[in-house]
């Protein structure tokens, strides 16, 4: 083939090539452009194309590269393909791959450039890259470990966490087989779940312990349009905390169950309709009914004894039903607790006293009712025994009081005889001049008088409750005048100074209250130190519905250990020779004050005096 012929063939090849081919000189001046090139850049004719430098179609920085590369080619170097943007005649920009070679064109050195539009390919690449990154971002979302595998275990994508456990970067793991990267002991069972997901085409889920952590693992097959498994998404979520919470919950649930089981109290739970769902051992022991007999039955039916033999049947049943109605229907008061005391009869015929508290247990799905039953039979029995004991005591006290009243009445008569006859004999003896006999008779007379006083006081004491007057408004001012009147002999003898504040009106038995004032003032005069003029002051202060009276003296005082004792019958701190008396005065006062619902007590300082306090109801 001649050179010309060869040239012609080459030209024809270039002219018809689907690749755009441009020849330019070192400056970028276009010497030739084939039709494909003209079509690519949008020039109508070669002449039009030749008006522009080849480098003018490149961005500025790329134009410089083009220029430099052209020189390199002319120097005999060869260059790798270049990816570059290219501006079209209409101003649009495309992405091209450029292959440039050195050629001799019409006897001159030139650059021949093959241009391929790769805009579309770049777009596809871009989409793929973006997809991979999106996938990875998804895989990196809260799931702890995630990977996308093909059916052979080749890693198509993997998230950072998972890659970290395999000791590599996500990028470097792409294309590796996952089964070669894990220890054999985990590969075996993980592969089993993996294969199962492929075969069943269903998600396989399993819990896995790795080190001290628990993972919730999922193998999720991804199917093709034809229903073939093409990929598998693997995820593992760190579940340690949840499993721990579940275990703790299970533990506390077990504790609660044990508590319910071993409780001696009956613990019952019902649903929203009052039907029993839980009936513990304690409830069985108390009621004599087993869980089997009562589960599903409403609490009030059991109480009524409709379903199981005889239980309950007492007249407070309607009250019990009302309580349940309130619990089941009144949703306003979520914390309502009803208390119920009652008597039950067990199937064995035992009568038991129970105390029941019934309450709502709000739950996410509405509410339930809880009831706690306590067997209070023993307590009730004790209460009953105590009541019987108190009744008996009251009765025997009444008997005793009756006895004392009769005895003191009947004793008075013979005593009077003894005193009267000893006095007669005394008179008689005086005339007979027998000093010895006179002395003996004096002793008999004194003893008789003393006994008469004692019997009298006792009689008064026993009559406080039985023979008292009705309570009426009583002016204490008047009471005090009467008491002082009764004491006028002692008052005159001792020159006692008695002062008082304004005195109120009380609701009381006037005679008895006079007795109280009289006894305390009498003592204040009596228990006065040698050579001291007694001084007494009476005051009154209001104190919740009562008046509190204080009678203060300047007497010998009372040791603290006797503050309570002196109010006991016959208790005295001194011999009869030093201070006469029966030891009954303060006991009588206490009994009177208590009959009025009041209190009496003393405060004292030895050698300085005592203050007696007592309270009486306001009028």
Q: Smallest distance from the beta carbon of 588 to ligand ADP, in angstroms?
A: 8
Task: Spell out the SS3 assignment of 484-505.
Answer: HHHCHHHHHHHCCEEEECCCCE
CA distance linking residue 501 with residue 504, whole number of Å: 10
Could you give the string, one character per residue 403-442, with x where binding to ligand ADP holds by CB under 6 A and - elsewhere? ----------------------------------------
Q: Give the β-pairing of 20-24 and 108-117.
A: antiparallel
Of the candidate spans 50-58, 308-316, 344-352, 565-573, the one that interacts with ligand ADP by CB under 6 A turns out to be 565-573
CA distance linking residue 286 with residue 284, whole number of Å: 6
The one among 159, 514, 515, 582 contacting ligand ADP by CB under 6 A: 582
**Phi, psi torsion values for 221, nearest 5 degrees:** -75, 140
Q: Give the β-pairing of 535-543 and 497-500.
A: parallel
Q: How many residues bind ligand ADP (CB under 6 A)?
A: 21
CB distance 364 to 371 below 8 Å: no
**Phi, psi torsion values for 502, nearest 5 degrees:** -65, 135
Nearer CB in complex with ligand ADP: 312/609: 609
The one among 583, 599, 603, 619 contacting ligand ADP by CB under 6 A: 583
Count the neighbouring beta carbons within 10 Å of the beta carbon of residue 436: 8
CB distance 544 to 531 below 8 Å: no
CB distance 540 to 549 below 8 Å: yes
Q: Indicate the helix (H) or strand (E) that contains 476.
A: helix 476-486
Nearer CB in complex with ligand ADP: 20/592: 592
What three-state secondary structure class fits 279? strand
Nearer CB in complex with ligand ADP: 500/572: 572
Nearer CB in complex with ligand ADP: 166/524: 524
Q: Smallest distance from the beta carbon of 484 to ligand ADP, in angstroms?
A: 16
Is residue 221 at the binding interface for ligand ADP, with CB under 6 A as the rule? no
Nearer CB in complex with ligand ADP: 193/563: 563
Of the candidate spans 140-148, 244-252, 418-426, 575-583, the one that interacts with ligand ADP by CB under 6 A turns out to be 575-583
CB distance 161 to 140 below 8 Å: yes
CA R_g for the chain: 60
The one among 556, 592, 600, 616 contacting ligand ADP by CB under 6 A: 556
Of the candidate spans 32-40, 285-293, 371-379, 555-563, the one that interacts with ligand ADP by CB under 6 A turns out to be 555-563
Q: Smallest distance from the beta carbon of 614 to ligand ADP, in angstroms?
A: 13
Count the neighbouring beta carbons within 10 Å of the beta carbon of residue 150: 15
The one among 373, 455, 524, 592 contacting ligand ADP by CB under 6 A: 524
Q: Half-sphere exposure of 230 toward its Cβ, with a 13 Å CA cutoff? A: 6
Nearer CB in complex with ligand ADP: 24/591: 591
Residue 315: name the closest of 291, 341, 289 by CA: 341
Is residue 523 at the binding interface for ligand ADP, with CB under 6 A as the rule? yes
Q: Find where tokens 């050579």 sit.
A: 531
Q: Smallest distance from the beta carbon of 499 to ligand ADP, in angstroms?
A: 16
CA distance linking residue 257 with residue 445, whole number of Å: 84
Is residue 464 at the binding interface for ligand ADP, with CB under 6 A as the rule? no
Q: Smallest distance from the beta carbon of 585 to ligand ADP, in angstroms?
A: 3
Return the C-alpha torsion angle 584, 460, 463, 468, nearest 10. Answer: -110
Is residue 586 at the binding interface for ligand ADP, with CB under 6 A as the rule? yes
Is residue 553 at the binding interface for ligand ADP, with CB under 6 A as the rule? yes
Q: Smallest distance from the beta carbon of 570 to ligand ADP, in angstroms?
A: 8
Of the candidate spans 117-125, 195-203, 491-499, 549-557, the one that interacts with ligand ADP by CB under 6 A turns out to be 549-557
DSSP-assigned letter for residue 177 = B
Is residue 574 at the binding interface for ligand ADP, with CB under 6 A as the rule? yes
Nearer CB in complex with ligand ADP: 100/589: 589
Nearer CB in complex with ligand ADP: 445/553: 553
CB distance 23 to 53 below 8 Å: no
CA distance linking residue 360 with residue 338, whole number of Å: 9
The one among 558, 592, 593, 600 contacting ligand ADP by CB under 6 A: 558
The one among 566, 592, 593, 600 contacting ligand ADP by CB under 6 A: 566
User: Which tokens is 403 given?
Assistant: 């006895």
Is residue 572 at the binding interface for ligand ADP, with CB under 6 A as the rule? yes
Enumerate binding residues for ligand ADP (CB under 6 A). 519, 523-524, 527, 553, 555-556, 558, 566, 571-574, 581-587, 610
């Amino acid at each position: 083939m001649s050179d010309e012929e060869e040239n012609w063939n080459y030209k024809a090849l270039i002219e018809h090539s689907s690749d755009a081919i441009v020849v330019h000189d070192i400056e970028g001046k276009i010497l030739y452009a084939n039709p494909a090139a003209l079509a690519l850049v949008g020039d109508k004719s070669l002449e039009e194309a030749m008006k522009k430098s080849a480098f003018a179609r490149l961005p500025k920085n790329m134009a410089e590269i083009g220029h430099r590369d052209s020189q390199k080619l002319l120097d005999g170097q060869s260059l790798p393909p270049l990816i570059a943007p290219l501006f079209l005649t209409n101003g649009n920009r495309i992405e091209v791959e450029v292959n440039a070679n050195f050629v001799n064109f019409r006897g001159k050195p030139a650059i021949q450039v093959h241009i391929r539009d790769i805009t579309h390919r770049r777009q596809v690449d871009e989409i793929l890259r973006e997809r991979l990154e999106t996938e990875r971002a998804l895989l990196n979302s809260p799931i702890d470990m995630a990977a996308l595998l093909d059916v052979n275990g080749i890693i198509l994508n993997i998230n950072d966490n998972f890659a970290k456990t395999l000791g590599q970067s996500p990028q470097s793991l792409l294309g590796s087989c996952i089964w070669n990267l894990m220890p054999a002991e985990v590969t075996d069972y993980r592969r089993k779940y993996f294969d199962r997901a492929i075969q069943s085409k269903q998600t396989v889920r399993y819990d896995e312990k790795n080190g001290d952590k628990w993972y919730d693992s999922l193998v999720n097959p991804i199917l093709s349009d034809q229903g073939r498994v093409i990929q598998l998404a693997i995820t593992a979520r760190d579940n340690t905390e949840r499993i721990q919470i579940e275990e703790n919950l299970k533990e506390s649930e077990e504790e609660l169950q044990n508590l319910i089981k071993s409780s001696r109290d009956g613990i019952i739970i019902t649903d929203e309709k009052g039907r029993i769902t839980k009936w513990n051992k304690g409830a069985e022991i108390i009621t004599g009914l087993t869980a089997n007999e009562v589960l599903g039955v409403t609490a009030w039916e059991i109480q009524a004894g409709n379903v199981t033999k005889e239980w309950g049947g007492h007249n407070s049943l309607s009250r019990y039903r009302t309580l349940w109605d309130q619990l089941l229907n009144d949703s306003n008061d979520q914390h309502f607790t009803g208390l119920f005391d009652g008597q039950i009869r067990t199937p064995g015929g035992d009568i038991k006293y129970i105390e029941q508290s019934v309450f709502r247990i709000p739950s996410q799905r509405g509410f339930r009712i809880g009831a706690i039953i306590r067997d209070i039979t023993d307590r009730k029995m004790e209460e009953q025994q105590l009541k019987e004991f108190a009744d008996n005591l009251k009765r025997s006290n009444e008997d005793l009081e009756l006895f004392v009243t009769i005895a003191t009445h009947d004793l008075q008569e013979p005593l009077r005889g003894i005193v009267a006859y000893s006095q007669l004999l005394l008179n008689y003896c005086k005339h007979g001049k027998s000093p010895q006999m006179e002395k003996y008779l004096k002793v008999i007379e004194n003893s008789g008088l003393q006994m008469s006083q004692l019997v009298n006081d006792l009689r008064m004491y026993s009559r406080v409750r039985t023979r008292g007057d009705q309570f009426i408004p009583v002016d204490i001012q008047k009471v005090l005048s009467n008491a002082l009147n009764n004491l006028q002999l002692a008052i005159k003898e001792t020159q006692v100074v008695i002062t008082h504040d304004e005195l109120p009106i009380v609701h009381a038995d006037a005679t008895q209250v006079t007795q109280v004032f009289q006894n305390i003032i009498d003592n204040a005069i009596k228990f006065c130190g040698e050579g001291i003029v007694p001084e007494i002051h009476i005051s009154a202060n209001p104190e919740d519905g009562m008046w509190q009276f204080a009678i203060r003296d300047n007497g010998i005082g009372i040791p603290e250990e006797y503050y309570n004792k002196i109010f006991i019958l016959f208790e005295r701190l001194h011999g009869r020779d030093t201070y006469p008396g029966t030891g009954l005065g303060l006991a009588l006062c206490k009994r009177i004050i208590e009959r009025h619902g009041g209190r009496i007590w003393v405060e004292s300082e030895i050698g300085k005096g005592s203050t007696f306090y007592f309270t009486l109801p306001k009028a």
